[in-house]
Structures are given as C-alpha cells and as structure tokens.
C-alpha cells in the first residue's frame, strides 16, 4: 500500500470559537507527527457550526462530503477518526455518512475504516480517568472538589459512559465528580455530593474535546444558569480551567491509539 493513497479524516463536532479551533490545529500536528506521509483532513459533524462558519467564509465539509472528495482526489484507503467522547448521536452520524458513501457507486475500490470514539470500553475509561486526574492544576488542595463537565446525551443510551467514568474517577479521587450538560450525572447530583463532603471550593474543568461554547458559557459563564454560578450560590467557590481534553497528552494518546488501530500498517 502506497502511503500516497492513504488519508486520515478527523471528524470533529466543530467549533465557531477560534481559541477552541487552535486546539484542533495542535491535534492535527500530533496526528501528522505520529502518522507521517499521509494526507490529513478534517470534517465537522455539526450542521449549525458549518453554517455559521460558511457565513464567515470559512466553509468546512461534512463527513460525507470530505470522504467523497478524498475518493475523488484518488485516495483509496481512508481512516476516519471520530473526535467524539462517547459512541452517541454524533458518532453514529459519522458511521451513517460513511455507510451511505460506501453504498454509492462512486465508492468502488475505496476502503473506509471508522475508529472508536474516546470512550469505547473499560480500559480507555481507566486511561482517561487517570489522565483527567493528573491534569488537575497542582494548586488544587486535597479538600477541593474537581468538577468535570461532559456533554451528555438524553437522546442516546451511550450517556451511561459518563456514569461509568464518574464511578471510575471516584475510585482514583473521592472528590472528583463528572457531570454533564445534557445527560447524566447531573449538576444537581454534584452539588449535593460536594455539600455532603463539605467542599467549599471546586475546580471546574471541561471534559470535552475543546473548551468551546459549553465550557465558556454553560460551565464558566457569569449567567445565573452556569455551573459556576450554581455552585457558588451553593457556597462552593469555583476556579474554571478553560482547556479541552484534546490538549491533555494522556487523553490525546487514547484518540491517537484509536487511529493507530485503523490506519493500515506498512
């Protein structure tokens, strides 16, 4: 297999926030360093993000569009890495777009493999938990809570991955809590447990690929519905950390290993 015919497609949710897009660029560099000699392209799964960026003259492709164009450009061996955290709605959208492409006649002779999302089993969850704990700022005191904000999903059973990761985190650090914006565990759960544990301070850290809109507004924002405001109202002072897990070396390596599982070996 000539590497000139191989390509990697990174399928991210997408972001309109330039600071968050910088984290995608750093991940792009890490992919190119680990898998040299391959074409590396990106697709954004979010239609809303793609529309907003297109209005700014920064058009991005969907997974279906990117895969078709790679095939049109002569790439025959495609590896798609989902930058999703759980095998939920976005991940299955990627799978569907790839299946639709493979069923179309123009796909003749093209192989497309889709990798696993970040959390795809117990071993990854343990690696991720370890990385999350080791990335907590060193200034944290042992009596401070650490609250990670994941996305969550009320629309998909893979929401349970967050519940599982939360319990694995707890084994490593009794004052580490994982909550989600749109699923389980909820912030209410965390507030109750922080108060029961007597915590008066919490570090707020995104458990999302990048520190985008949810991290900036729903986690660290000044609005009365933000996690920071709700925790502070409950008497728990907050220090937000605006860094996504793509910038955590330990978490990044799990994604890169998932890519290594699907790229062809020479």
What is d(CA 97, CA 260) in angstroms, rounded to the nearest whole number? 22
Nearby residues of 51 by Cβ (< 8 Å), 6 or more positions away: none
Return the HEC string of 127-172.
Answer: HHHHHHHHCCCCCCCCCCEEEEEECCCCCCHHHHHHHHHHHHHHHH
Bridge partner list, 10: 42, 81
Active site residue 184: no
What is d(CA 172, CA 185) in angstroms, rounded to the nearest whole number? 18
Question: Coil, strand or helix: which one is 213?
Answer: helix
- Given 19, 151, 184, 258, which residue is catalytic? 151
Q: Which residues are the active-site residues?
A: 151
């Amino acid at each position: 297999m000539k590497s000139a015919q191989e390509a990697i497609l990174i399928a991210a949710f997408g972001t309109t926030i330039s600071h968050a897009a910088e984290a995608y660029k750093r991940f792009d560099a890490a992919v190119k360093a680990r898998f040299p000699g391959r074409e590396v392209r990106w697709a954004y799964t979010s239609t809303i993000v793609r529309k907003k960026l297109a209005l700014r003259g920064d058009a991005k492709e969907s997974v279906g569009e990117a895969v078709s164009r790679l095939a049109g450009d002569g790439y025959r061996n495609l590896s798609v890495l989902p930058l999703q955290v759980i095998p939920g709605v976005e991940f299955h959208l990627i799978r569907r777009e790839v299946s639709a492409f493979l069923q179309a006649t123009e796909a003749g002779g093209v192989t497309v493999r889709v990798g696993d999302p970040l959390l795809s089993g117990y071993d990854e969850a343990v690696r991720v938990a370890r990385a999350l704990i080791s990335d907590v700022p060193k200034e944290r005191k042992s009596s401070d809570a650490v609250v990670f904000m994941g996305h969550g999903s009320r629309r998909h059973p893979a929401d349970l991955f967050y519940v599982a990761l939360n319990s694995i985190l707890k084994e490593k650090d009794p004052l580490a809590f994982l909550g989600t914006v749109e699923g389980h565990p909820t912030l209410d759960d965390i507030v109750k447990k922080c108060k029961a544990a007597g915590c008066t301070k919490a570090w707020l850290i995104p458990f999302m690929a990048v520190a985008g809109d949810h991290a900036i507004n729903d986690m660290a924002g000044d609005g009365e519905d933000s996690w920071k405001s709700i925790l502070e109202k409950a008497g728990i002072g907050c220090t937000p950390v605006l860094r996504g897990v793509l910038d955590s070396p330990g978490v990044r390596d799990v994604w890169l290993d998932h890519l290594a599982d699907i790229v062809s070996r020479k």
